């Protein structure tokens, strides 16, 4: 069994992310949800808030860890004994983007990638859409974990 990492901005974590984490946690011995802390990218939620929300949402999954990283994912993976990246695919656009990243991870760090296709009911959910709804004061409860 492999140790996996599910990296992302998670600004905020959505039901779509949760579905990938639940399914991914069954594929790996441990799965680390790694929040990318990029000081140059403005986020709606602070790093601490994002970490807290994910920890809460994942607390019943015993092999899921939550961490943050700065810099390159390949360095975080090497430092943490992680050999596989998990990513979710909603559509062909996601695939084109993820394929490029996967090639770079493999070329530079021999880091393997595994893609899980999102299930239909989650395919339209994105953090960006949730942020827009928050700004417009709309109900987001069905798009995010409790
Ligand atoms: P990033 O800023 O790196 O794109 P995100 O937080 O937006 O990070 O997404 C992290 C990962 O979760 C990516 O692999 C993305 O494709 C996947 N993902 C996001 N939303 C969904 C969804 N609704 N269903 C499946 N996978 C998703």
Sign of the alpha-carbon dihedral angle for 120, 10, 100, 64: negative
Ligand 1 geometric centre to CA of 18 (Å) = 10
Buried b or exposed e, range 9-25, using 16+ CB within 10 angstroms: bbbbbbbbbbbbbebbb
User: What does the pLDDT read at residue 120?
Assistant: 86
- Other CB atoms closer than 10 Å to residue 94's CB: what's the count? 17
DSSP three-state, residue 94: helix
Catalytic residue among 2, 22, 90, 131: 90
Ligand 1 geometric centre to CA of 14 (Å) = 9
Mean pLDDT, residues 64-71 taken together? 97
Question: Catalytic residue at 90?
Answer: yes
Q: How far apart are CA 146 and CA 49, in angstroms?
A: 15
- Of 84, 87, 52, nearest to 68 by C-alpha is 52
pLDDT at residue 93 greater than cutoff 80: yes
Percent of the chain with pLDDT over 70: 99
Question: Catalytic residue at 43?
Answer: no
Catalytic residue among 15, 17, 43, 118: 17
Instruction: Output the pTM of the full model.
Output: 0.96
């Amino acid at each position: 069994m492999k140790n996996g990492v599910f990296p992302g901005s998670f600004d905020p974590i959505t039901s779509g992310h949760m579905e990938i984490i639940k399914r991914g946690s069954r594929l790996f011995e441990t799965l680390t949800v790694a929040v990318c802390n990029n000081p140059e990218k403005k986020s709606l939620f602070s790093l601490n808030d994002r970490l807290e929300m994910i920890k809460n949402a994942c607390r019943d999954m015993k092999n899921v860890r939550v961490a943050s990283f700065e810099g390159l994912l390949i360095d975080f993976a090497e430092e943490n004994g992680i050999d596989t990246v998990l990513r979710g695919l909603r559509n062909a656009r996601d695939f084109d983007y993820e394929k490029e990243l996967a090639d770079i991870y493999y070329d530079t760090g021999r880091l393997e990638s595994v893609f899980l296709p999102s299930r239909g009911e989650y395919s339209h959910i994105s953090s960006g859409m949730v942020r827009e709804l928050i700004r417009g004061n709309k109900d987001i409860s069905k798009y995010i974990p409790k």
